[in-house]
Amino acid sequence: MKYSYYPGCTLRTKAKDLDAYARASAVALGFELEEIENWQCCGGVYPLGSDEIASKLSSVRALNEAKEKGQDLVTLCSACHHVIKRVNDDMKNVDDIRTRANNYMQLEEPYAGETEVLHFLEVLRDRVGFDKIKEKVVNPLTGKKIGAYYGCLLLRPGKILEFDNPENPTIIEDFIRAIGAEPVVYPYRNECCGGYISLKEKDMSKSMCERIMDSADGMGAEMLITACPLCLYNLKKNGNDKLPVVYFTELLAEALGVKEEVAK
Amino acid sequence: MQRIGVFVCHCGSNIAATVDVKKVVEMALLEPGVVHAEDYQYMCSEAGQAKILEAVKEKGLTGIVVCSCSPRMHEATFRKAAERAGVNPYMVEIANIREHCSWIHKDMEEATKKAVILARAAIAKVNLNAPLQPGESRVTKRALVIGGGIAGIQTAIDIADAGYEVDIVEKTPSIGGRMSQLDKTFPTLDCSACILTPKMVEASAHEKINIYTYSEVEKVTGFVGDFTVDIRKKARSVDMNKCTGCGVCQEKCPSKKAPSEFNRGLNTRSAIYTPFAQAIPNVPVIDRDACLKFKTGKCGLCEKVCQAGAIDYAQQDEIITEKYGAIVVATGFDTIKLDKYDEYAYSQSKDVITSLELERIMNAAGPTKGHLERLSDGKAPKEMVFIQCVGSRCADNRGKSYCSKICCMYTAKHAMLIRDKYPDVNVTVFYIDVRTPGKNFDEFYRRAVEEYGVNYIKGQVGKVAPLPNGKLLVQGADLIDNKQILKEADMVVLATAIEPDPSVRKIATMLTASIDTNNFLTEAHPKLRPVESPTAGVFLSGVCQGPKDIPETVAQAGAAAVKAIGLLAKDKLMTNPCTAKADELMCNGCSTCANVCPYGAITYEVKQVNDHGIREDRRIAVVNNALCQGCGACTVVCPSGAMDLQGFSNRQILAEVDAICR
């Protein structure tokens, strides 16, 4: 199976690991990530202004390219996924945005939300299947107690992201089970880390991240995993260092026995 | 040719402000058959009706068209007026130019155009109307009450006291309903069982009341005054005539792991059980899914210990068929499922409970014998938080849009009872609004705040987080102080929205009674006929019609009883003459109509017909006028066009369509 792949800028710079481990794991699991050409930054934040078009165009370009190839579009960074999925929803359901975006784009055939946007975790769950992953695991992470940190961007708004139950998600816990480790459910796993507020009000992000860490630590987690570069940054810089934080793809690569390859 | 009079109503300004009534009169006079047309301010008034009578007398009218409000409003009024004037009431047609026109349009010119078209359609139909004579049907002097909660019990007692036989059908093993699960009742704080049990006993001892528990309505046919109902008496596995209610079987039963429905699954019960101590009848049932005898064939202990020899493992479900004149629905409510409200951690913590579960915990016969304790570790709580409107007044599709009405009062009750019995427990209530209309209700709530020191916070809770130390962190907003609140609680109680019992959908379908989007049964009129269903002979009692507390339920139950008694007191009812009829020469006996008839009104007879001089025996559809409800399904499916609905014949309908499209 071949998917169009949108890595996003952070995965080229700060979060190279997230990307590299995902690519290696994809190969091990037997699906192909084909990076789309000339992708541009998604903007990082979904623009809430209903008349804002320009900053949605990069998403539309990526979506249209996948459409032309007849492929689903896979994302990995939570922020990119959030922006692209929501823009796709706009293109499908909001007449005004669709018309204006297509007026800018001047495509041969107008884009109307045809592409399916999948987060890498959704590919693992819905296309590969956690059962299949379990079969391919060569280094099960037996005995490791791992807390899933979802953050907010993957889950909300629930009706558009349709990723999991925003108040009680289970996909990363199921992932943790698939790689042989033990998930630790803690109530703050779907609360915000503060996001970009850490640039302006570091203390606020600090109190939010500490609460998340304390909650996970209290429930017995030994480490946290996340899909979001910004969450990882905040938890590491603004948390209280109680728990290590890594990308979920790193553990996947480790379990699949391809981590060493990437390190080389 | 008919001689038709057209009467256009102003309805004050309701119609006349949007429709040019003079223009409607003018245009109506141009239609074929119309010999008279006039307008009047209130056609339904005495003076308005007098105008109709006068016109019939002067112009010799044979048909009447009234352009006014919905026929549901005043069709009966004008039919009676026609009858007084000596015109067959079925020669009257209503053109609805109010609900279908003036109320929904703003532009006078457009609305007038539409009113003229609606009048034209009605005139076209009257031109083809023929006089119809209603038949008569008998009234069976017996009522069925579906549901044995306080609503059903009260309705049954009131009907029975008037001298009519009543059957109560209750699906659980005992009557009593939700009220039997409650500990205390607001605003007087008297014990629920103490006031309910005498009612249950009264119903069961009443010579006119017959109770079928552990039974369900399976099939309903017939119509007002003459319903035929199949009731499934589920196999109790215990002989009701022999059982003495000693309870030894329940004590000895080795299978004690089934969740207790009565205690909301907070503890377990034996496989052979009566739901609660005051159950009526005091005869247990065997839950065959939990019973070892039924599951493995081994055991049979209850049979051995039963002195009365009442255990009967071979008992089968039994179908009872009974006739009724009136049916009262009193199917009650349940709390909604909380699977869409995971932010309150109901599924994640045993110490987050619903208010109905708290009722059981507070009750001496409940899972904790009336001690307020955490279900996780049995410890007494020190901080309790109540969250209001969980699933009620919900703007998205997770919960219900309506106010569940009872929660503000029962939460005040819970808060007060806890503060009274355990003064060291702090109680905090998060609310959107406190709604306490009702006699002595607001005083009750104020007592909770002022005398019992319950801490009310205006604001909603966003998250309940189970903490590593076993407590619950409640994260909410105080809208008056404009700040976020983080409060550690030992227990959280959710005022969970109520919804009609899920069984009501099936029952409504069987009764052809309408329900709204929330599964509440619809009234015939929201203000003027609040206890009747639009389906004749079906009445509504209790929460199945809308959220209400006990006093309101009892009042409505009495009102429903009065309506049922009014029906049962009649010896005969007039039947609707607008029934289907097969043209003997066109019918080919194909059975298509009988297959779609929802009322079983169509049978077949072999009749000799004279088809243009050829005499032969043919199989022909015959409609039972007493059963036919005039739905018209048969006329649509009939491949040969033999079926027609009297008063709504294909020709009449097409004439209306032609008139509209002209």
The domains of chain A are located at: 2-120, 138-258
Q: What is the pLDDT of residues A84-127, one digit of tens each?
A: 999 999 999 999 999 999 999 999 999 999 999 999 999 999 99
Residue B149 has pLDDT above 90, yes or no: yes
The pLDDT assigned to B72 comes to: 85
Question: Under an 8 A CB cutoff, do A215 and B341 touch?
Answer: no
Rounded to 5°, the CA angle A203-A204-A206 comes to: 60
DSSP A138: S
Spell out which residues of chain A touch residue B463, defining contact as CB-CB under 8 Å.
187, 191
pLDDT band at B128 (very low <50, low <70, confident <90, very high): very high
Spell out which residues of chain A touch residue B474, defining contact as CB-CB under 8 Å.
none
Q: Which amino acid is at B237?
A: S
Residue B381 has pLDDT above 90, yes or no: yes
The pLDDT assigned to B599 comes to: 78
Fold of A138-258: Rossmann fold (3.40.50)
Q: Scan for tokens 């010799």, then name that residue.
A: B60
Q: A216 to chain B: nearest residue by CA?
A: B468
Q: Which amino acid is at B119?
A: A
The pLDDT assigned to B626 comes to: 76
- Which A residues, 155 through 174, put their C-beta within 8 Å of a C-beta on chain B? 165, 167-168
Q: How far apart are alpha carbons A58 and A72 in whole angstroms?
A: 17
Spell out which residues of chain A touch residue B468, defining contact as CB-CB under 8 Å.
215, 218-220
Burial pattern B139-178, b for ≥16 Cβ within 10 A else e, equals bbbbbbbbbbbbbbbbbbbbbbebebbbbbbbbbbbbbbb
pTM for this entry:
0.85
Mean pLDDT of B651-662: 94
Average pLDDT, chain A: 95
Distances (CA, A) of A258 to A6, A26, A181, A250: 22, 10, 17, 9
The pLDDT assigned to B512 comes to: 87
Helices (H) and strands (E) in chain A, counts: 13, 8
Average pLDDT, chain B: 95
Mean pLDDT of B452-481: 96
CB nearest B465 (choices: A165, A188, A220): A188
Question: Under an 8 A CB cutoff, do B473 and A191 touch?
Answer: no
The pLDDT assigned to B519 comes to: 97
Pick the closest to residue B53 from B18, B14, B7 (CA basis): B7
Residue B455 has pLDDT above 90, yes or no: yes
Three-state DSSP at B216 gives: strand
The pLDDT assigned to B373 comes to: 96
Strands B142-146 vs B326-329: parallel, antiparallel or unpaired: parallel
Residue A264 has pLDDT above 80, yes or no: no
The domains of chain B are located at: 4-126, 142-234+317-332+501-568, 248-305, 336-499, 580-646
Q: What is the pLDDT of residues B529-555, one digit of tens each?
A: 999 998 889 999 999 999 999 999 999
Minimal C-alpha gap between A45 and chain B (Å)? 24
- Which B residues, 334 through 393, put their C-beta within 8 Å of a C-beta on chain A? 341-343, 345, 347-348
Q: B462 to chain A: nearest residue by CA?
A: A167
Rounded to 5°, the CA angle B503-B505-B506 comes to: 75
Q: A214 to chain B: nearest residue by CA?
A: B468
Pick the closest to residue B542 from B334, B248, B371, B268 (CA basis): B334
Spell out which residues of chain A touch residue B343, defining contact as CB-CB under 8 Å.
167
Question: Under an 8 A CB cutoff, do A185 and B465 touch?
Answer: no
DSSP B478: E
Q: Which residues contact B323 (CB under 8 A, 6 or more apart)?
A: B140, B142, B222, B226, B227, B228, B229
CB nearest A167 (choices: B342, B466, B467): B342
Instruction: Give, in words, the CATH class of B336-499.
Output: alpha beta
What CATH code would you report for A2-120?
A: 1.20.1050.140
Q: How far apart are alpha carbons B33 and B5 in whole angstroms?
A: 9
Question: Under an 8 A CB cutoff, do A167 and B347 touch?
Answer: no
The pLDDT assigned to A178 comes to: 97
The pLDDT assigned to B255 comes to: 95
pLDDT band at B396 (very low <50, low <70, confident <90, very high): confident
The pLDDT assigned to B612 comes to: 86
Q: Scan for tokens 């998917």, then name that residue.
A: A3
Quick one: what percent of chain B has pLDDT higher than 70? 100
Candidates B338, B341, B343, B344: best to mutate against A (most CBs of A within 10 A) is B343
Minimal C-alpha gap between B401 and chain A (Å)? 18
Quick one: what percent of chain A has pLDDT higher than 70? 100
Q: Does the CB of A191 have a partner CB in chain B at under 8 Å?
A: yes
- Output the six-digit token pair for B495: 């005022």
Straight-line distance from the first to the last Cα atom of chain A, in angstroms, rounded to the nearest whole number: 26
DSSP H or E stretch at residue B320: strand B318-324
Mean pLDDT of B421-431: 98
pLDDT band at A263 (very low <50, low <70, confident <90, very high): confident
pLDDT band at B371 (very low <50, low <70, confident <90, very high): very high
The pLDDT assigned to B629 comes to: 83
Fold of B4-126: Rossmann fold (3.40.50)
Residue B645 has pLDDT above 90, yes or no: yes
**How distant is the alpha carbon of residue B171 from its chain centre?**
16
Residue B87 sits at φ, ψ, to 5 deg, of: -105, 140
Q: Which residues contact B303 (CB under 8 A, 6 or more apart)?
A: B293, B311, B313
The pLDDT assigned to B244 comes to: 95
Q: What is the pLDDT of residues B582-612, one digit of tens each?
A: 999 999 999 999 999 887 889 999 988 888 8
What CATH code would you report for B580-646?
A: 3.30.70.3270
Strand segments (E) across B97-188: 136-138, 142-146, 165-169, 184-185
Pick the closest to residue B9 from B91, B70, B83 (CA basis): B70
Q: Which residues contact B598 (CB under 8 A, 6 or more apart)?
A: B512, B629, B631, B633
Residue B70 sits at φ, ψ, to 5 deg, of: -60, 145
Number of A/B CB contacts below 8 angstroms equals 26
Asked whether the domain spanning B580-646 has the same topology as the one spanning B336-499, the reply is: no
Minimal C-alpha gap between B440 and chain A (Å)? 39
Residue B168 has pLDDT above 90, yes or no: yes
Q: Does the CB of A185 have a partner CB in chain B at under 8 Å?
A: yes
pLDDT band at A257 (very low <50, low <70, confident <90, very high): very high
Q: What is the pLDDT of residues B51-96, one digit of tens each?
A: 999 999 999 999 999 999 999 889 999 999 999 999 999 999 999 9
Q: What is the pLDDT of residues B549-572, one digit of tens each?
A: 999 999 999 999 999 999 999 999
Which value, to the nearest 10 degrees, does the dihedral of the CA atoms of residues B195, B197, B199, B201 take?
A: -150
* Superfamily name and number for B142-234+317-332+501-568: FAD/NAD(P)-binding domain (3.50.50.60)
Pick the closest to residue B54 from B118, B123, B7, B106 (CA basis): B7
CB nearest B465 (choices: A165, A187, A220): A187
Question: Under an 8 A CB cutoff, do B473 and A219 touch?
Answer: no
Pick the closest to residue B187 from B440, B363, B360 (CA basis): B440
Distances (CA, A) of A112 to A64, A108, B80, B615: 9, 12, 60, 68
pLDDT band at B240 (very low <50, low <70, confident <90, very high): very high
Residue B256 sits at φ, ψ, to 5 deg, of: -120, 30
Mean pLDDT of B275-280: 96
ipTM for this model? 0.87
Minimal C-alpha gap between A46 and chain B (Å)? 23
Q: Does the CB of A218 have a partner CB in chain B at under 8 Å?
A: yes
Mean pLDDT of B452-477: 96
Q: B397 to chain A: nearest residue by CA?
A: A159
- Output the six-digit token pair for B260: 């207790």
Mean pLDDT of B393-409: 94
